[in-house]
Amino acid sequence: MTRKEIIEDYIRAYNSFDVQGMLQYLHEEVEFKNISNGEVNLSLQGIEAFRKQAEQASKLFKEREQVVLHYQEQENAAAVTIAYRAVLATDISKELKAGDTLTLKGKTIFGFQQDKIISIEDYS
């Protein structure tokens, strides 16, 4: 399976709230970072921490979809530009309420160790 196919399957699992499907491609020591406006607002280490966060996050959305706009292979990584749309299932702040639709464009860098994803950095 190519890196591109792994990423496509990972995103397909993400879009369908299939946490187990997402985990199958991750290295045990996966490192995840979410970077928004240049600041790290979430950092996780290890597949168990990732699983817990993915399960919690999936409860926040009624629907969600990532669409790959651009894919670029690098030496031990792949950079993906993504269009993101999600509908909230619950209120998450005074401004963001259940039923609101979020749309954004971002970039995700997937680091690889052999055929497993060892790092994920989400930029928005």
Nearest to 50 by CA among 4, 13, 102: 13
Q: What is the pTM of this model?
A: 0.92
Q: What is the pLDDT of residue 43?
A: 97
* Predicted confidence (pLDDT) per residue in 28-50, tens digit: 999 999 999 899 999 999 999 99
* Predicted confidence (pLDDT) per residue in 9-25, tens digit: 999 999 999 999 999 99
What's the pLDDT band for 88 if we cut at 50, 70, 90?
very high
Q: What is the pLDDT of residue 46?
A: 98
Ordered by where they begin, the domains of the chain are 3-123 (3.10.450.50)
Maximum Cα interatomic distance, the chain, rounded to a whole number of Å: 44
For the segment 65-70, the average pLDDT, to the nearest whole number, is 97
Residue 62 to residue 22: CA distance in whole angstroms = 18
